Amino acid sequence: MAEEHLKPVDGPTLDQTTPTVSENTAKPSPKKLILAGVAVAALGFISFEGLNYWTVGRFMETTDDAYVKADVTLISSRAQGYVAEVLVRSNDHVNAGDLLARLDDGDARNGLALAQSRFETAGEALTRIDAQIAASQAIVAQTKADRDTAQAQLNSAQTNATRAAQLASDRVVSQSQLDTANEALDVARGGFAGAQARIASAEAQVAVLNAQHVEAEGQQQELKIAVDQARRDLARTVLTAPSDGIIANLTIEIGDLVSPGARLAALIPDGSLYVEANLKETQMTNIAAGAIVEMTFDALPNQTFEGRVASISPATGAIFSLLPADNATGNFTKIVQRVPVRIALPQEALETGKLRAGLSTEVSIDIRTPTPTDVVETE
């Protein structure tokens, strides 16, 4: 029995149940390593973002309510007529002065020819009046010469009559000779008076012709203006590009009847693109012209461009809406308003050739850099 109690019991030995020092310091599991790495990365990311916000982010006003815009020139006709020729297509690039379309100009050409004919007739009438004035002035000179002759004859008759009267009183000549001398004197007086009357008549005729000349000159000037107007009417049958740019929204075809003021096409001038960002009124406190702007475009992914605030609208967008809100009503609800801010595009963004009016943009304005004197808006 004593031997049975001394018999070892089956079970783990001392070496099997007591862990060694090497087993207590085993490597952690991969799961713990991953969690630790994620925690470190998250802490680093939060630290980086916090530092970025503190140094940069809190000074940036950001909005995605921004779009590329352009100074669109509307092409319209100043004359009425049928389209005879269309020389461009939508999306064509044109230079200033290039022909875009031509209207039927038959009526305008006839009007110009009629105006020119009337102007030439007025010029011939002036030439005729000038000739008549010259002739009348010659008549005046002739009548003045006749008057001088009549004056000499009057003086001679006066002398003869005086001499005859003296001789008759001395009974040297007969009474009939005295009567003849007096009759000659009366005839000379009549001739002189007639010469004076003819001079007055000739001078009056010259005055009338001078008045007609002035009137004809006025009519000729009016006809000259009519010719110029006819030329303008003819020129209006030709539509030309007002500046370099790209034609868009072309709405005319050959044979269309166009009216004055009707919109026929649009022209996007070269270099006229800009960004208009609509910022909340709560973001406008420190925004000023000249501030640096970082912008990205959906059409140019992974690219960031730097522009400048060019100007700030004097009113919110709601003021210029077609139906502005009437806030003086009982159902008023306060809505945060937005103010349009114009941003000049950098040259490198324009040189990509990918920007088009209407494209979406996201902008971040640095409120620490208002330098209006540095703003150079692309013309």
pLDDT value, residue 136: 83
At residue 92, the pLDDT reads 93
pLDDT (mean) for 61-72: 91
- pLDDT of the residue at 26: 56
The CATH topology of domain 271-323+332-374 is Elongation Factor Tu (Ef-tu); domain 3 (2.40.30)
Q: How confident is the model at residue 373 (pLDDT cuts 50, 70, 90)?
A: very low
Whether residue 71 contacts residue 357, with contact meaning beta carbons closer than 8 Å, is answered with: no
Record the pTM.
0.61
According to the model, what pLDDT value does residue 4 have? 46
φ and ψ at residue 263, rounded to 5 degrees: -75, 120
Tens digits of per-residue pLDDT, 148-192?
A: 887 887 787 778 777 777 776 766 667 777 677 777 777 878 888
pLDDT tens digits for range 14-40: 444 445 444 555 566 777 777 777 777
Rounded Cα–Cα distance for residues 260 and 282 (Å): 45
The pLDDT of residue 319 is above 50? yes
pLDDT at 99 over 90: yes
Whether pLDDT at 51 is above 90: no
Q: Is the pLDDT of residue 42 over 60?
A: yes
CATH architecture label of 106-233: Orthogonal Bundle (1.10)
For the chain, the domains span 73-104+237-266, 106-233, 271-323+332-374
The pLDDT of residue 189 = 81
Average pLDDT of the segment spanning 326-338 = 76
**3-class secondary structure per residue, 202-254:** HHHHHHHHHHHHHHHHHHHHHHHHHHHHHHHHHHCCEEECCCCEEEECCCCCC
Q: What is the mean pLDDT of residues 311-331?
A: 78
Give residue-wise pLDDT tens across range 114-137.
999 999 998 898 888 888 888 888
pLDDT at 103 over 90: yes
- Give the model confidence (pLDDT) of 191-242 as tens digits: 888 888 888 888 888 888 889 889 888 999 999 999 999 999 999 999 999 9
Mean pLDDT (the chain) is 81
Whether the Cβ atoms of residue 248 and residue 90 lie closer than 8 Å to each other: yes
pLDDT given at position 235 = 92
Q: What angle do CA 371, 373, 379 make, to 5 degrees?
A: 115
Res 154: pLDDT: 76
Distances (CA, A) of 50 to 46, 302, 332: 6, 23, 40
Describe the crossing of helices 175-235 and 106-169 by its angle, rounded to 10 degrees: 170
Residues 327, 331, 335, 340, Cα dihedral to 10°: -30
Which pLDDT band, with edges at 50, 70 and 90, does 47 fall under? low
Distance CA 228, CA 243 (A): 25
Q: State residue 140's pLDDT score.
A: 83
pLDDT of residue 28: 66
pLDDT at 6: 47
Question: Is 70 exceeded by the pLDDT of residue 145?
Answer: yes
Please give the C-alpha separations between residue 240 and each of 98, 153, 257, in angstroms, as whole numbers. Answer: 5, 78, 18
Tokens of 190: 């009549």
- In CATH terms, 73-104+237-266 corresponds, of 2.40.50.100, 3.30.365.10, 3.40.50.300, 2.60.120.1060, to 2.40.50.100
For the chain, what percent of residues have pLDDT higher than 70? 82
